[in-house]
A and B are shown apart, each in its own frame.
Chain A
Amino acid sequence: MLKRNIFAVLLVASLPMAAHAADSYTMDPAHTYANFTISHLGFSTMHGRFDKSSGKVTLDRAAKHGTVDITIESASVSTGFAKRDDHLKSPDFFNAAEFPSITYKSSAVKFKGDVPASVEGSLTMLGVTKPVTLTIDAFKCGAHPMNKKELCGAAASAQIKRSDFGIKFGLPAIGDDIKLDFEVEAYKD
């Protein structure tokens, strides 16, 4: 009788924990990209992206809680012109040899209903960390039509000033404002 009661207490006590267990997702590097746009001399907008990103996401829709952790290889910057890419990797801009990673770590995920709407966190570039909020523009979870694995995808954006991170070369001719667009696909672990 005592053992049955203890068992029942333990079962009930474990229920809230099971209900609030977050799902963990690993980003698919083949479908996860950090893109950016910046004004070039006021004449046109340059588009670029980082070809190599990785990271983890946890999501608990019931508890409206989540985490985002992204690591971007700064040397993977690509703008479609090799000489410009070399320049972007140099100490003038992303200084990839000295700071090989750009990271984003969340501190809070805000939900609208049961869908994440924004992520508050910190972006670290060139050894400087600044708070950056990502606005989630699109979000979808479901089974991948081919491999049937559970997949979540999201589009998130933010605006930063590169001078806040010490990237001052070419100001103001090359714009200070950078629009970041993250396209993420992550498989459930």
Chain B
Amino acid sequence: MRELLNHPAVQGGLAPFVVALIVAELLQRMRLSGLAIIAGFAATVYLVSGFAFDPLTASRKIVLLTLAASLFALPLMFFNPRWLRGLLAIAGGAAAVWVMQRILQQQAVSPMLLWGAGCAAYVGWLVFWMDGLHESSMRAASAGVGLGMGTGLAALFGASALLGQYGLALGAAAGAYLLIQMLTNAPLPCGRSITLPLSLAAGLIACLAVLTAELPWYVLPVLATIPLAAKIPVPAKQALWIQSALLTIVTLACAAGAVYLTWRVAGAPPI
């Protein structure tokens, strides 16, 4: 069993998928199915690196912020002013600077400001546009699958298996959440408990992979299209599973573009 749990495909794929499936199903009646995403992510963190936070490295800050975001998102179910979306985006950008702080401080002023602003903009963008999907579980989950898979595989090709597994866990967990909806042909309760931790984590993982691994920066604009791709109109009269499949195909196509660009530059993933 231990050998199975040490396998990277289990750690970054099967385990978060199964955990998310169970959590989404169990918490459905409490309208907290969205916590499936953080549950799946947490399962991977536990298996791959554990929950040590000292010293507080950038990757550990990502784990901490993702956990905090999922808790913070819960009361936002009852609180939805128009200005909240912008505020969350700004907070996401600030979080990016905090996570990358030690890395940015090693650099000269101009690159530090450029990379810092770029990371803040990317994370803020993802948080803003993913937040626009928080009322549609199907669209949020489809975007989550594309964003998680794209970020994870791109980070993996970019020479960080740790960040790759974190990203893939998000995609796997979102996939489990989406699968339940497709099988039951009924939407699950959604809300910011999905979109906020997912967009924040995916954004921070990609930025860290750019700054510390070999992920090319120009992959980020490709990944940034995924929340927009999840907003494309789909035939409303079609069954939910068809709509979900269509959306997921589109988001995965964007993800594939990001992975392809990374592969062209960085080559095969390290094994």
Contacts and interface: CB of A to CB of B under 8 A. Distances in A.
Partners in one complex: yes
Interface of A: 83-84, 86-87, 89-92, 95-98, 100, 126-128, 166, 168-173
Contacts of B212: 89-91, 95-98
A92 B165 CA distance: 11
B270 A91 contact: no
Given A91-B162, A173-B6, A166 B52 contact: yes
B50 interface: yes
B18 to A, nearest CB: 22
Nearest to B163: A91
A83 B270 contact: yes
Contacts of B162: 90-92, 169
B25 to A, nearest CB: 31
Contacts of A166: 52, 55, 57
B90 interface: no
A86 B50 contact: no
Contacts of A91: 57-59, 160, 162-163, 208, 212-213
A83 B103 contact: no
Interface centre among A86, A98, A166 (most CB of B within 10 A): A98
B247 to A, nearest CB: 32
Given A83-B159, A90-B213, A169-B162, A95 B268 contact: no
A100 B106 contact: yes
Interface string B194-214: 000000000000001001111
18 contacts: A83-B267, A86-B213, A86-B266, A86-B270, A89-B159, A90-B160, A90-B163, A90-B212, A91-B160, A97-B103, A97-B212, A98-B102, A98-B106, A98-B212, A100-B106, A126-B57, A128-B55, A172-B6
B22 to A, nearest CB: 26
B163 A86 contact: no
Contact of B161 (A98, A169, A172): A169
B48 interface: yes
B238 interface: no
A127 B57 contact: yes
A105 to B, nearest CB: 18
Nearest to B105: A98
Contacts of A97: 103, 106, 211-212
A126 B102 CA distance: 12
Given A91-B59, A91-B162, 17 more contacts: A83-B159, A86-B159, A86-B213, A86-B214, A86-B266, A89-B213, A90-B160, A90-B214, A91-B57, A91-B58, A91-B208, A95-B58, A98-B57, A98-B212, A166-B55, A169-B162, A171-B6
